[in-house]
């Protein structure tokens, strides 16, 4: 595929005008949060992490938190309708007008399709889906090395299994529409960051 055509399809010219809409994909422990925050700082764009938002919503016992809690605590996915509605409301907020980076969303192919459907209605488009490629064994050992309360071994294992079941079709979805950027996530964070920046600029 000619690079020029690929750039046009992925909305690259919109990217250059600084409105950047991205999703970052990777298993639990792939370094999504770290990379998302580095990238948002670089691009000066809001970081929207569904995991972090749900964690706070549960602590504060908001309506969203109450709906999500039974799933969240078991490492299960929160049902699509709850997540889709949440994302719709979040992307309508003022700070999301000039771009964003979604971390933890989409988690299912249905969420990915619904995101495109929503963006279509808003006359916006997703520029790229960044896939942090990390072997399953590395994901497991990294996740277990963290000390979050919801990172118990069975829950971590469940998340990784769920990830492979549900998230792989998302990669295919973005690959088909030529918006997938695959990055080697099994290297030091700064190197991963540099690889993302390089691939986002699509230098020949
Ligand atoms: P994370 O911090 O991204 O690993 O997310 C922690 C938990 O939040 C997951 O195990 C799910 O229960 C829930 N969650 C986060 N994002 C989503 C999503 N897009 N769809 C469904 N559940 C989600």
For each of the chain's 204 residues, which pLDDT tens digit applies?
Answer: 567 677 666 665 555 556 899 999 998 789 999 999 999 999 999 999 999 999 999 999 999 999 999 999 988 899 999 999 999 999 999 999 989 999 999 999 999 999 999 999 999 999 999 999 998 889 888 877 876 666 677 887 877 787 778 788 999 999 999 999 999 999 999 999 999 999 988 533
> 13 CA distance to ligand 1 centroid (A)?
31
Residue 46 Cβ inside 6 Å of ligand 1? The answer reads: no
Across the chain, mean pLDDT equals 88
Residue 28 near ligand 1, beta carbon < 6 Å: yes
Give per-residue pLDDT as tens, 96-139: 998 999 999 999 999 999 999 999 999 999 999 999 999 888 98
Which phi and psi angles does 27 have, rounded to 5°? -70, 170
CA–centroid distance for 57 within its chain = 19
Ligand 1 geometric centre to CA of 1 (Å)? 34
What would the two tokens of residue 63 be? Answer: 């309506």
Q: Is 107 in the pocket of ligand 1 (CB under 6 A)?
A: yes
What is the Cα–Cα distance from 157 to 143, expressed in whole angstroms?
Answer: 9
CA 186 vs. chain centroid, Å, equals 17
DSSP 135-189: -HHHHHHHHHHS--TT--HHHHHHHHHHHHHHTHHHHHHHHHTT-EEEEE-SS-H
Residue 133 Cα to ligand 1 midpoint, Å, equals: 19
Look at the pTM and tell me if it is higher than 0.75. Answer: yes
């Amino acid at each position: 595929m000619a690079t020029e055509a690929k750039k046009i399809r992925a909305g690259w010219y919109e990217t250059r005008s600084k409105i950047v809409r991205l999703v970052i994909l990777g298993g639990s422990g792939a370094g999504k949060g770290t990379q998302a925050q580095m990238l948002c700082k670089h691009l000066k764009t809001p970081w929207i992490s569904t995991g972090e938002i749900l964690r706070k919503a549960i602590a504060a016992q908001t309506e969203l938190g109450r709906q999500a809690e039974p799933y969240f605590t078991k490492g299960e996915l929160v049902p699509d309708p709850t997540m889709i509605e949440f994302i719709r409301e979040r992307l309508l907020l003022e700070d999301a007008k000039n771009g964003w980076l979604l971390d933890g969303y989409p988690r299912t192919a249905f969420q990915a399709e619904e995101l495109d459907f929503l963006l279509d209605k808003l006359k916006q488009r997703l520029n790229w889906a960044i896939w942090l490629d990390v072997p399953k064994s590395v994901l497991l050992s990294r996740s277990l090395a963290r000390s979050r309360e919801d990172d118990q071994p069975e829950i971590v294992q469940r998340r990784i299994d769920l990830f492979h079941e549900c998230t792989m079709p998302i990669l295919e979805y973005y690959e088909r529409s030529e918006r997938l950027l695959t990055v080697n996530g099994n290297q030091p964070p700064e190197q991963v960051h540099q690889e993302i920046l390089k691939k986002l600029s699509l230098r020949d």
